[in-house]
Structure 1
Amino acid sequence: MLDRMFSATRRVGVVVGWILVHVLIGIGLALLLAAAIIQFFWGEISVNQMLLNIVAVETDGGGGPIVWVSILGIGVAPLLITVGLALWLYFRRRKVRHSGGSIQPRRPPWIMRTVSTVLVAAVVIGGSTAFAATVGVGDYLDAVNSDYEVGDFYVEPTVTRDANRRNLVLIYLESGEGTLADDELFEKDAFAPLKAVTPAADGWQTVEDLQQYEGGGWTMSGITSTQCGIPLKGIGSSSGGGAYNALGGNVQTYLDGATCLGDVLGQHGYTSVFLGGANASFAAKDVFLDNHGYAEVKDLSYWRTLGEPATAFRSDWGLSDERLLAHARDEVDELHATAERTGQPFNLSLLTLDSHEPVHIYDYCEVDTRNEVTSAFFCSMTQVAGFVEHMEQQGYLEDTAVVIMGDHLKQIGGGHAFQDELEDHGNRTIFNRIWVPGGDGDADLRPGVDQLSMYPTILEAAGLTLSGREAGLGVSAFAPEAPPGSAQAMDPSHYAELVTSLSPEFYAEAWSGEDAAAQ
């Protein structure tokens, strides 16, 4: 009896061990392939970027081919390989048993077991290590252990005066890195068309050396940092609600506890409209905008209902910048006419698309560079420049502030252009131009600020007076210096730790919809 029980237990143990080994192989392969795919399409990213982009994945107008490659490469391929390996080993052993064990191994069993163990360990450890390095797990663990809390420095934006409020046009340039203006490093200045219509001699200003905040680097991080004044993160707040209640599903809220640009403008009578060529559901951009004061969000589905021809769309993302900016001209005409009639200002926010890699070359774009990405950037900036010229010709710049800036630095993953030129560059910055009517913004802009300070800067450009000139963690670039005690007055190394800290208390409240400042 005991022998039978021992034998049965041993067989169960062998089966469980066999299953566990193959599960580990599958996990190792999935992590290894995930690291390879992420490196190719995005380069090194953060844990926050990974999770906050998969809260609402879209195969239509959200980088569809990339999504499918990720699903097949990370989900399907490891499963098929693991199952195939298991079946091969099963039938091989079955063949040996049916042959009466007459097939003699070419090597001693202990060697085969050792080699197998080493190979399994290599797959598991290699996959885990590669994935951890690619998504910055080490940085995330440092953030977990940080003593800094964003809530200790967060400043709720307080408008003390809005008598000088003015219309606002906010344009985000996809991957709009200012470094691409260096015509000695690249084939030509990608921003030349936009520079031509925004000269300093006419009153346009620039935040010199505008920095991407530490830990940023993707579209939603660029939008939320410049509109809310806080780093985009949410790890540790999963129990609080919002996007973390629906990874990959139906996201209901997005940073409801934070007071962002659209919220403040809405409190002061603004009508906010967003135009973008891609599917706004990707990464829950539409939820963020809807939660924070935007009355209309016009995206891929909207442009399709207007009957735009198929040639106006790129299959992976959406509407071309040529057509987007054409609609933007109509939109700003309508919004400006309504503002003049009602006395209520507007905020028109745009996000370009043509410069998102892999680039798509439309018929209106002439490729005159060896690397077509340079031409694609140039063509996109040409479309934006045409929109700025339209506003100037219509006289809108007399009562409308304009803020133009990149949403983040250009990504330089293995499959992206300019990796050699940018990887070791000493000062990668974000392109920007600011227009304030009537010379109200003639004061020099404080150089070297990061994206978090663009939030109060935009509010001041719109003519609103801010208490302390602060909002979120940012201090307006129109302020000559950061006030003592503010996040921006911290030692740079301490500020970097604050910005990258997990800050679970602050973000739990920000995501749950509670007032994040009331801690």
Structure 2
Amino acid sequence: MSGRILYVTRRVGLVAAHILVYALIWLGLAALIAAVGIRFFWGEISVGQMLMNLVSVETDGGGGAIVWIGILGIGVVPLLITVAIALWRSSRRRRRLRNGNPDSRGTQPFMRPLSTLLVAAVVLAGTTAFATTVGLGDYIKAANSKYDVGDYYVEPTVTSADQKRNLVVIYLESGEATLEDDQLFEKDAFAPLKEATKAEEGWQTVADFQQYEGGGWTMAGLASTQCGIPLKGNGAGGGSATDNGIDEGAETYLGGATCVGDVLDEQGYTNVFLGGANPSFAAKDTFLYSHGYSAVKGLSDWRAAGEPEENFRKDWGLSDQRLMAHARDTLDDLHAEAEKTGRPFNLTMLTLDTHEPVHIYDYCDVDTDSEVTSVFSCSMTQVASFIGYMKEQGYLDDTAVVIMGDHLKHMSAGDAFHEQLDDHENRTIFNRIWVPGETPANSTLRAGSDQLNMYPTILEAAGLTLEGGEAGLGVSAFASEVPGSSAQAMDQEAYTELLGSLSPRFYAKAWAGAGTQQ
């Protein structure tokens, strides 16, 4: 009886050992393929970006084929390879049994340690590649930081709204100012937009405008410039999509933070957002509706409006040319309503054409060896045309305009310009600001600001006066001096650590919608 129990125990242990080995093989392969895929499509990212963005990819107008590539590459392929290995090993064992040699250890003594070494190599390679790709080490360091964003966060206080004016904000997808350099690239991709936003006509620029440390994707760009904080999970639960409250059906996104739309809504503004993609991607619509926007239009709206399929790119959405056409109509309606009611508006837009892999529309003539350069130029031409329309209609007389890239251009393995940008010393974000009546001669914007400072800058461009020029972690670029208590007054090393900190106290309240005051 005891012999039978011992036999069963050994068999169960053997089966469990085999299951563990195959599970480790699957895990190593999945991690390795995921790392390769992430680097190809996005480059090196952060744990926060992975948890908050990649999990929100949409099959329609939010990444398209990337969803199916991910399912096949990370889910199906490693499983098939693992099953194939298991079947191969099983067939070898059956052949040995038929040949009367059930145990090959005597004839092939090196096979078992070699198999163990190979399994260990797959697991180690996969986990190491994945951890490096998503910055797991930085994430662990951030979890142990002594800093908390809440210790420096400033709730914006509007001290005057006597000069409030209409506002248009345009986010340029991957709008990196470095692409202006015609010594590095075939031509200045921003030339059309620069021609429409000349300094001598009153347009201003935040020189050396920086992507915040830890940013680099669209939602991070929106949250940082509209809320003045780094985009992170709630800190308490590791920052998964569910922990963040952005799982399907969630009602708020950073509902405890006060953002541009909240302040403008309180001041009587009508907030409207237009984008070419599916607004559900990365819960962009939830974010906007959570912060004072009354209308968010995207892919499904343009289809319902009768846009023909040739005006869409299958992976993301509507072309910039057609988006700007709809933006003109929306602007006309908003401006007419504002004149009628006295209620100002905020029209926010996000372009799409320059998201790689780029799509060539028939309105874009490729005149460079790199299609990406031409597409950037064509996209800027569309935005410049919109600015020209605003000027023709006289809207620039009572409407502030803020134009800026949402983040630096991605440097994934599949993207262009590695030769020019990988080792570039100072990559910056393109921006232009128009304030009626203001010129570079009488209003100099503070150079070197990062995206967090754009939050109070946008509000002051709209004509609101903020106490201390502060909001979130930012200080308005219109302010020549930075308050000593501001995060912007910290030395660079401490500021970088603050931005990287998981800040569990702050983000738990921000995601819970409970308010962010300590």
Name the TM-score class by shorter chain. Answer: over 0.9
For the Cα contact (< 8 Å) 2:233–2:239, is it kept in 1? no
Q: In the TM superposition, what whole-angstrom CA distance separates every residue of 1:352-399 from its partner, at most 9, and x where no partner exists?
A: 000000000000000000000000000000000000000000000000
| 1:201 paired residue number | 200
Q: Distance in 2 between matches of 1:458 and 1:159?
A: 13
Q: Distance in 2 between matches of 1:108 and 1:168?
A: 80
Q: Distance in 2 between matches of 1:338 and 1:379?
A: 32
Q: Distance in 1 between matches of 2:435 and 2:68?
A: 44
5 Å matches for 1:424-439?
424-439=423-438
| 1:187 paired residue number | 186
Q: In the TM superposition, what whole-angstrom CA distance separates every residue of 1:297-327 from its partner, at most 9, and x where no partner exists?
A: 0000000000100100000000000000000
| 1:18 paired residue number | 18
- Larger displacement relative to structure 2 (135-144 or 237-246): 237-246
Change (3 A) 1:491 1:435: same
| 1:381 paired residue number | 380
Q: In the TM superposition, what whole-angstrom CA distance separates every residue of 1:335-364 from its partner, at most 9, and x where no partner exists?
A: 001001100000000000000000000000
Secondary structure of the corresponding residue to residue 110 of structure 1: coil
For the Cα contact (< 8 Å) 1:253–1:287, is it kept in 2? yes
Shift of the alpha carbon at 1:485? Answer: 1.1
Q: In the TM superposition, what whole-angstrom CA distance separates every residue of 1:176-229 from its partner, at most 9, and x where no partner exists?
A: 000000000000000000000100001100000000000000000000100000
Q: Distance in 2 between matches of 1:126 and 1:439?
A: 57
- Larger displacement relative to structure 2 (78-87 or 294-303): 78-87
Q: Is 1:53 the counterpart of 2:50 in the alignment?
A: no
Shift of the alpha carbon at 1:110? Answer: 3.2
Q: Distance in 2 between matches of 1:420 and 1:54?
A: 27
Secondary structure of the corresponding residue to residue 58 of structure 1: coil
Give the aligned residue type for 2:146. Answer: D
Shift of the alpha carbon at 1:511? Answer: 0.4
| 1:218 paired residue number | 217
5 Å matches for 1:6-405?
6-101=6-101, 108-238=107-237, 243-244=242-243, 249-405=248-404
Q: In the TM superposition, what whole-angstrom CA distance separates every residue of 1:445-475 from its partner, at most 9, and x where no partner exists?
A: 1000100000000000000000110000000
Change (3 A) 1:15 1:359: same
Change (3 A) 1:242 1:124: closer
Q: Distance in 1 between matches of 2:290 and 2:28?
A: 39
Q: In the TM superposition, what whole-angstrom CA distance separates every residue of 1:275-295 from its partner, at most 9, and x where no partner exists?
A: 000000000000000110000
For the Cα contact (< 8 Å) 2:234–2:244, is it kept in 1? no
Shift of the alpha carbon at 1:238? Answer: 3.7
Q: Distance in 2 between matches of 1:344 and 1:103?
A: 84
Change (3 A) 1:254 1:62: same
For the Cα contact (< 8 Å) 1:258–1:515, is it kept in 2? yes
| 2:405 paired residue number | 406
Secondary structure of the corresponding residue to residue 160 of structure 1: strand
Change (3 A) 1:85 1:482: same
Give the aligned residue type for 1:309. Answer: P
Q: Distance in 2 between matches of 1:147 and 1:87?
A: 51
Change (3 A) 1:104 1:226: closer
Give the aligned residue type for 1:218. Answer: W
Secondary structure of the corresponding residue to residue 326 of structure 2: helix
Change (3 A) 1:247 1:465: closer
Give the aligned residue type for 2:37. Answer: I
Secondary structure of the corresponding residue to residue 402 of structure 1: strand
Change (3 A) 1:102 1:140: closer
For the Cα contact (< 8 Å) 2:245–2:253, is it kept in 1? no
| 1:467 paired residue number | 467
Q: In the TM superposition, what whole-angstrom CA distance separates every residue of 1:67-110 from its partner, at most 9, and x where no partner exists?
A: 211111111111111111112211221222133228978x8443
Secondary structure of the corresponding residue to residue 84 of structure 2: helix
Change (3 A) 1:405 1:102: closer
| 2:514 paired residue number | 514
Give the aligned residue type for 2:227. Answer: C
Unpaired segments ≥5 residues, structure 2: none
Q: Distance in 2 between matches of 1:425 and 1:62?
A: 30
Identity %: 66
Change (3 A) 1:243 1:277: farther
Give the aligned residue type for 1:260. Answer: C
Give the aligned residue type for 1:149. Answer: D
For the Cα contact (< 8 Å) 2:204–2:439, is it kept in 1? no
Shift of the alpha carbon at 1:439? Answer: 1.8
- Larger displacement relative to structure 2 (33-42 or 433-442): 433-442
Give the aligned residue type for 1:58. Answer: E
Change (3 A) 1:272 1:68: same
Change (3 A) 1:55 1:261: farther
Give the total of aligned pairs: 517
Q: Is 1:480 the counterpart of 2:476 in the alignment?
A: no
| 1:417 paired residue number | 416
Give the aligned residue type for 1:482. Answer: V
Secondary structure of the corresponding residue to residue 329 of structure 2: helix
Q: Distance in 1 between matches of 2:251 and 2:202?
A: 42
Q: Distance in 1 between matches of 2:91 and 2:251?
A: 49
For the Cα contact (< 8 Å) 1:22–1:82, is it kept in 2? yes
Q: Distance in 2 between matches of 1:414 and 1:138?
A: 22
Q: Distance in 2 between matches of 1:3 and 1:247?
A: 56
| 2:454 paired residue number | 454
Change (3 A) 1:246 1:345: closer
Give the aligned residue type for 2:497. Answer: E
Shift of the alpha carbon at 1:66? Answer: 1.2
Change (3 A) 1:440 1:179: closer
- Larger displacement relative to structure 2 (408-417 or 84-93): 84-93
Shift of the alpha carbon at 1:12? Answer: 0.6
Change (3 A) 1:247 1:264: closer
Give the aligned residue type for 1:164. Answer: Q
TM-score by length of 1: 0.97
Give the aligned residue type for 1:123. Answer: V
Q: Distance in 2 between matches of 1:480 and 1:421?
A: 33
Q: Distance in 1 between matches of 2:102 and 2:239?
A: 63
TM-score by length of 2: 0.97
Q: Is 1:445 the counterpart of 2:445 in the alignment?
A: yes
Q: Distance in 1 between matches of 2:332 and 2:471?
A: 30
Change (3 A) 1:306 1:90: same
Shift of the alpha carbon at 1:4? Answer: 1.6
| 2:3 paired residue number | 3
For the Cα contact (< 8 Å) 1:242–1:254, is it kept in 2? no
